[in-house]
C-alpha cells in the first residue's frame, strides 16, 4: 500500500459558494439524438490555430472522416460527425460570438462510418500522435488540445495525474453519466495515460454529491486492476467551484499554482474525466471524437435529459428534441449558470467543449436590482483565489490599471462565487471581464 502517496481526505481550499446543485438528470440514462438534417463543423473548436478544410463543396463524407486539420503544432483536427454531402464552406457565428470558418454537411441519415482501426500504440510518440488524430481537446470547457497537455516540457517533473470528475456547475451531469455508463473506458484511459507518461500517482476527483460515480470507480480502482496501487478516487466536498483547475489541484495535492503558472509547474496534469474516456475509446477503436453528451435542463425544458449529439448539431435542434417551451424561455446558455455563456441565437453549433445547454425560465433568469456595496466582505470570503472583488470593482470602474494589476485581476477565473454571495447583487463577474479587457488593451498599446 502506498498510503503516503495519497491524501486521506482532500486538502482545504479557500472560498467557494453554496450554489444549488440541481442535478435532476444524474440518474437518467443518456439518450441518443436522431441524425440531424445537417451539421456545421467549425474549423476552430479549440484553443490554438484554426484548421483548414480538407474537403470541398459536393464531396461525400463519412462519420469519422477528417475534414479539417492544421500544420500548426497547437491545434486539433476536426472530423465529420454525420455522413452526407458537403453543401457549404463559409464563416458562421459561434455561441460565444466569435466567427469561424465552418464546413456544413447535409446528412443522408445513414450515419455511415469510415472503416476505422485502432491506432498504433507501440511508443510514446505513437500515443501522442493518436491523441492528436482523435481530435481530442479539453472537453470540460477549456478546449485545450490534449496532445499538447500530454507532452509537458522536459524541465517539468510530472508526478501526479488528476482526473477532474468534480462537475461542480449546477445542472450539469454529463460527466457523471460518462462515469456511470462508461466506467471501464474511464479507468482504461487512466491506466493508458499513467503508463505512457510514467506517472505513479493518479487522483480521480469527484464531488461527494455523486456517490454512485465514486462507488463504481472505487470498485475498479480497489480491484486487482490497480495492482500497483497507484490510482485512488478522492471524494471532494460538494462546494462550488471545486472543479476549477487550481482549486482541484489544491484539494487533491495541497499544492498551489502560482499566478501566471500552469499545473505542470507544480508537477500536475489535470484531465477532464470525459476526455480520458473518449481517448480510451479512440485507442480501442480508432473512431475519433465526433459526438458529445450534453445535459439539457432548465425550467424551459420539458424533457430534461442527457443527450448524445453529433458535433455541429444546432442548439435549436437539440432543444426541440428535448421539448423546449418557447413561451417560458428567459435565457439559454452553453454550460451552467455560474460559468456558462448566454446564447443570443439558438442557430449555433454544438462544439467539442460544450457539456450542457441550459434553458432557464423567465423566473429563473430574472435578476435582482443592484444596490450599493455595503462592504460586508462576503465576496472576499467566497473568492477561491483570495482576491478582493470589491476593491477590484472600484479599480476597474476607475480604469486604474496599476491597481488592477496590484490586486492580481488576471488571477480571477470568473467563477462567479463573489457575485453569487453578494447581497447587493453587484455585477462583479462582468466587472472582472471588463477589467481584463482594459488590461489587454493597455498591453497591446504598450506593444506598439
The pair phi, psi for residue 213, each rounded to 5°, is -65, -40
Task: By CB under 6 A, tell whether 121 contacts ligand SF4.
Answer: no
Least distance CB 242 / ligand SF4 (angstroms): 13
Altogether, the residues listed in the chain come to a count of 448
Q: Cβ of 3: how many Cβ atoms within 10 Å? A: 9
Burial 256-287 (b: 16+ CB within 10 A, else e): ebeeeebbbebbbbbbbbbbbbbbbbbbeebb
Instruction: Pick the closer one to ligand SF4 by CB: 37 or 376.
Output: 376
Pairing of strands 202-207, 160-165: parallel
Interactions with ligand SF4, residue window 167-206 (CB under 6 A): none
Instruction: Pick the closer one to ligand SF4 by CB: 41 or 418.
Output: 418
Q: Cβ of 29: how many Cβ atoms within 10 Å? A: 10
Whether the CB-CB separation of 355 and 172 falls below 8 Å is answered with yes
Instruction: Pick the closer one to ligand SF4 by CB: 226 or 400.
Output: 400
- The Cα 89–Cα 56 span in angstroms is 7
Binding residue (CB under 6 A) for ligand SF4 from 190, 389, 404, 407: 389
Instruction: Pick the closer one to ligand SF4 by CB: 356 or 435.
Output: 435
DSSP structure class, residue 105? E
Enter the C-alpha cell of residue 234.
478522492
Size of the site for ligand SF4 (CB under 6 A): 27
Interactions with ligand SF4, residue window 359-388 (CB under 6 A): 373-379, 382-383, 385, 387
Interactions with ligand SF4, residue window 390-409 (CB under 6 A): 390
Least distance CB 163 / ligand SF4 (angstroms): 23
Least distance CB 293 / ligand SF4 (angstroms): 27
Least distance CB 388 / ligand SF4 (angstroms): 8
Q: Cβ of 112: how many Cβ atoms within 10 Å? A: 15
Instruction: Pick the closer one to ligand SF4 by CB: 34 or 423.
Output: 423
Least distance CB 377 / ligand SF4 (angstroms): 5
Interactions with ligand SF4, residue window 24-63 (CB under 6 A): none
**Residue 151, CA distances (Å) to 73, 129, 143, 158, 193 in order:** 12, 11, 16, 10, 11
Instruction: Pick the closer one to ligand SF4 by CB: 63 or 412.
Output: 412
Least distance CB 96 / ligand SF4 (angstroms): 18
- The Cα 6–Cα 9 span in angstroms is 9
Write the interaction track for ligand SF4 spanning residues 408-437; mark x where CB under 6 A is met and - where it is not.
----xxxxxxx---xxx-x-xx--x-----
Instruction: Pick the closer one to ligand SF4 by CB: 307 or 415.
Output: 415
Least distance CB 20 / ligand SF4 (angstroms): 17
Q: Taken in order 334, 238, 177, 203, is the CA torsion positive or negative?
A: positive
Least distance CB 200 / ligand SF4 (angstroms): 32
22 backbone φψ class: left, alpha, beta (φ>0; ψ -120 to 50): left
Instruction: Pick the closer one to ligand SF4 by CB: 238 or 379.
Output: 379
Least distance CB 59 / ligand SF4 (angstroms): 45
Instruction: Pick the closer one to ligand SF4 by CB: 318 or 412.
Output: 412
Whether the CB-CB separation of 325 and 366 falls below 8 Å is answered with no
Least distance CB 378 / ligand SF4 (angstroms): 4
Whether the CB-CB separation of 179 and 191 falls below 8 Å is answered with no
3-state class of 421 per DSSP? helix
Instruction: Pick the closer one to ligand SF4 by CB: 286 or 427.
Output: 427
The most distant pair of C-alpha atoms in the chain lies apart, rounded to whole Å, by 64
Residue written as grid cell 480508432: 286
Residues forming contacts to ligand SF4 in the complex (CB under 6 A) are 373-379, 382-383, 385, 387, 389-390, 412-418, 422-424, 426, 428-429, 432
Amino acid at each position: 500500500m502506498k498510503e503516503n502517496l495519497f491524501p486521506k481526505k482532500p486538502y482545504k481550499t479557500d472560498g467557494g459558494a453554496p450554489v444549488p446543485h440541481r442535478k435532476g438528470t444524474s440518474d437518467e440514462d443518456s439518450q441518443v439524438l436522431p441524425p440531424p438534417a445537417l451539421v456545421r463543423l467549425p474549423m476552430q473548436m479549440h484553443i490554438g490555430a484554426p484548421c483548414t478544410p480538407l474537403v470541398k463543396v459536393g464531396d461525400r463524407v463519412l462519420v469519422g472522416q477528417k475534414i479539417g486539420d492544421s500544420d500548426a503544432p497547437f491545434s486539433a483536427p476536426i472530423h465529420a460527425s454525420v455522413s452526407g454531402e458537403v453543401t457549404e464552406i463559409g464563416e458562421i457565428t459561434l455561441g460565444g460570438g466569435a466567427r469561424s470558418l465552418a464546413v456544413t454537411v447535409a446528412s443522408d441519415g445513414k450515419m455511415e462510418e469510415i472503416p476505422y482501426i485502432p491506432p498504433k500504440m507501440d511508443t510514446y510518440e505513437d500515443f501522442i500522435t493518436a491523441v492528436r488524430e482523435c481530435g481530442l481537446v479539453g472537453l470540460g470547457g477549456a478546449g485545450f488540445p490534449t496532445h499538447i497537455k500530454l507532452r509537458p516540457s522536459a524541465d517539468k517533473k510530472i508526478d501526479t495525474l488528476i482526473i477532474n470528475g468534480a462537475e461542480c456547475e449546477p445542472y450539469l451531469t454529463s460527466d457523471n453519466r460518462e462515469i456511470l455508463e462508461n466506467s471501464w473506458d474511464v479507468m482504461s484511459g487512466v491506466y493508458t495515460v499513467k503508463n505512457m507518461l510514467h506517472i505513479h500517482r493518479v487522483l480521480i476527483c469527484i464531488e461527494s454529491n455523486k456517490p454512485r460515480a465514486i462507488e463504481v470507480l472505487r470498485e475498479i480502482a480497489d480491484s486487482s486492476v490497480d495492482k500497483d496501487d497507484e490510482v485512488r478516487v478522492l471524494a471532494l466536498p460538494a462546494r462550488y467551484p471545486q472543479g476549477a483547475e487550481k482549486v482541484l489541484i489544491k484539494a487533491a495535492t495541497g499544492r498551489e499554482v502560482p499566478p501566471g503558472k500552469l499545473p505542470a509547474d507544480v508537477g500536475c496534469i489535470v484531465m477532464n474525466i470525459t476526455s480520458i474516456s473518449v481517448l480510451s475509446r479512440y485507442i480501442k477503436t480508432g473512431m475519433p471524437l465526433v459526438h458529445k453528451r450534453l445535459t439539457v435542463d432548465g425550467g424551459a425544458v420539458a424533457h430534461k435529459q442527457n443527450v448524445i449529439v453529433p458535433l455541429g448539431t444546432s442548439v435549436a435542434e437539440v432543444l426541440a428534441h428535448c421539448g423546449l417551451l418557447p413561451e417560458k424561455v428567459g435565457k439559454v446558455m452553453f454550460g451552467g449558470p455560474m460559468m456558462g455563456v448566454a446564447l443570443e441565437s439558438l442557430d449555433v453549433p454544438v462544439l467539442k467543449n460544450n457539456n450542457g445547454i441550459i434553458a432557464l425560465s423567465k423566473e429563473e433568469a430574472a435578476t435582482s436590482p443592484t444596490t450599493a456595496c455595503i462592504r460586508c466582505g462576503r465576496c472576499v470570503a467566497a473568492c477561491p483565489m483570495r482576491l478582493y472583488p470589491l476593491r477590484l470593482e472600484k479599480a476597474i470602474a476607475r480604469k486604474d490599471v496599476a491597481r488592477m494589476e496590484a490586486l492580481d485581476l488576471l488571477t480571477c477565473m470568473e467563477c462567479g462565487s463573489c457575485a453569487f454571495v453578494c447581497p447587493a447583487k453587484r455585477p462583479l463577474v462582468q466587472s472582472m471581464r471588463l477589467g481584463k479587457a482594459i488590461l489587454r488593451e493597455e498591453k497591446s498599446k504598450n506593444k506598439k
